[in-house]
Structure 1
């Protein structure tokens, strides 16, 4: 009988393409991955891995078994969903990934609601960027993820996932209090043509969106500073080092030396939840989505200040 955990290891190797990638995805050591694969090779009686330079590759037998492993893992997910659905209540562990502003703006109220309505459910939350958390849901490392895209640039969702829209989150432009536009009721992107910008990390979806949007408005962006966290960006704005886009969800207090200007071009993000389609019947997933919708309904979207 093939061991399910060893098949999960093989599946992770096939998806990540390396022992280190599989170890990261499974949250184990590379030694643990190698040990599991050695045991699986003994179970099937033939090599599943071959050396490939400094790394490894799957043999023909390894690729064949990896295809079966992916289907088996999906069937296990369906079985878990069916068992949970038959039981009719949300229990056990539910692993959730969320981007930073959703962690602040949505998850506290969501988790508090789940604790009251489903006391036997144990949510476990991890802060991750949307692309990372969606990949983790596909791999089975997470059960549910919160993700975003923008009104003019959509993020592709893997075919294995189901998604549901939660809210549209408006964004403002943050400028220093002494900026010539600081007293305006709203501003257009074209008026910010000559500004230095404070952006997210290069390679992140939101950074790519900012560059794409400014170029679409005929502006070649001058990215002066890179900061991961919104409050760090606002601190740089207060110091007069540039301007930034600041979404309203989870924004919290704004520094006294910053002014927020709505954008006449209507800049907004779409926030949604995703989960594996084969987990659609799990009461725990449904309970979490319902709690998220309740948290959204209780939001009082902050305006600019």
Structure 2
């Protein structure tokens, strides 16, 4: 009989493409992955892996068995969901991922509510950008991810994932206190045609959104600085190095010398939770979504200027 944990190891190798990637995904050593795969080869009596340069690749038999392993593990997930749903208890472990401002803005409140309401549930969290978070859920490395899209740029959700809205986040434009528009009640993006911008790193979803949005306003973006963390972006603005989009979710204290002005027409970030449809009935997933929604509702009131 095939060993489920060895099938899980083969599935991780197929999804991550390398022994080291499988080890990271399973939180074990590369030696443990190699040992499990060697035992699986002995069980099936066929070679599942072949050397490929400095790495490995799946043989035809390995690919065939990996496809079966993915389906078997999905069925196991569905069985676990059904058993948990029948029992109706929020227990076990749930792994949550979120992009940084959502992790900072939602996780502390949501996790506190889960700990108070479901003390037998173990919650693990990590920070991942939206696209990486969805990949982690699809791979089985996370149970739920908090992701985002914008009112004018949607983030496609792959087949096999369910989603639920958590909140809408309204960003402002951050600029130095000495900027000519710093005392305005609201601004247009077109007002910043001659400004340098501080943006998220190239290739990230929000960077692509910013550049496409500015171009739609007839502005060729002058991206002067790239920073993943909003606190770093705001520090650059405080030092006079441009302007940036400053979401309110997870914003925290704003440095002295920075002014925040609402933009028209109103921009919105739509914040969602996504999880695998085969885990849809798990009480732990439903509890996590509920806690995240409640944390989002607590942030529904608009933030005061400069907050």
**TM-score, normalised by the number of residues in structure 2:** 0.96
Out of 71-80 and 152-161, give the one that drifted further. 152-161
Q: Offset at 1:277?
A: 0.3
- Counterpart-to-counterpart distance in 1, 2:32 and 2:111: 33
* Equivalent runs, 1:109-188 vs 2, <5 Å: 109-188=109-188
Deviations along 1:16-73, one digit per CA (max 9) or x if unpaired, are 2222322232233333222221111011000011122332221111111011000000
Give SS of 2:50's match: strand
Structure 2 residue aligned with 1:16:
16
* d(CA) in 2 for partners of 1:216, 1:28: 47
In the alignment, the residues of structure 1 paired with residue 8 and residue 195 of structure 2 have an alpha-carbon distance, to the nearest angstrom, of 50
Corresponding residue SS for 1:125: strand
Distance in 2, Cα, partners of 1:195 & 1:67: 52
**Distance in 1, Cα, partners of 2:210 & 2:24:** 30
Matches within 5 A, 1:53-132: 53-132=53-132
Alignment partner, residue 267 of structure 2: 267
> Which has the larger displacement, 114-123 or 239-248?
114-123
1:282-302 Cα deviation digits (max 9, x unpaired): 011111111112112222331
Unaligned segments of structure 1, at least 5 residues: none
CA displacement, residues 94-143 of structure 1 (integer Å, 9 cap, x when unaligned):
11111111112111111111112111111111111111121111111111
Distance in structure 2 (CA, Å) of the matches to 1:238 and 1:202: 22
> Given that residues 189 and 214 in structure 2 are in contact (C-alpha distance below 8 angstroms), is that contact kept between their aligned partners in structure 1?
yes
Count of residue pairs brought into register by the alignment? 305
In the aligned structure 1, how far is the partner of 2:208 from the partner of 2:29? 33
Instruction: Structure 2 unaligned segments of length 5 or more: list them.
Output: none
* 4+ long deviations beyond 6 Å: none
Question: Does the 8 A contact of 2:167 with 2:297 survive in 1?
Answer: no
User: Which piece of structure 1 moves more, 206-215 or 68-77?
Assistant: 206-215
Q: CA–CA distance in 2 between the matches of 1:37 and 1:218?
A: 55
- Superposed, 1:179-258 pairs within 5 Å as 179-258=179-258
Root mean square deviation of aligned Cα? 1.3
DSSP 3-state at the match of 2:149: strand
> Matched residues in 1 for 2:2 and 2:269: separation?
45
Contact kept? 2:81, 2:281, Cα under 8 Å: yes
Asked whether the 8 Å contact 2:82–2:282 carries over to 1, the reply is yes
1:303 to partner: Cα distance:
4.0
**Counterparts in 2 of 1:35-54, with a 5 A limit?**
35-54=35-54
Counterpart position of 2:305: 304
- TM-score where L is the length of structure 1: 0.96
The answer on 1:26 being equivalent to 2:26 is yes
Following the alignment from structure 2 to structure 1, what is the Cα–Cα distance between the partners of residues 169 and 138?
25
Q: Which is further off, 8-17 or 77-86?
A: 8-17
Partners in 2 of 1:133 and 1:41 — Cα distance? 32
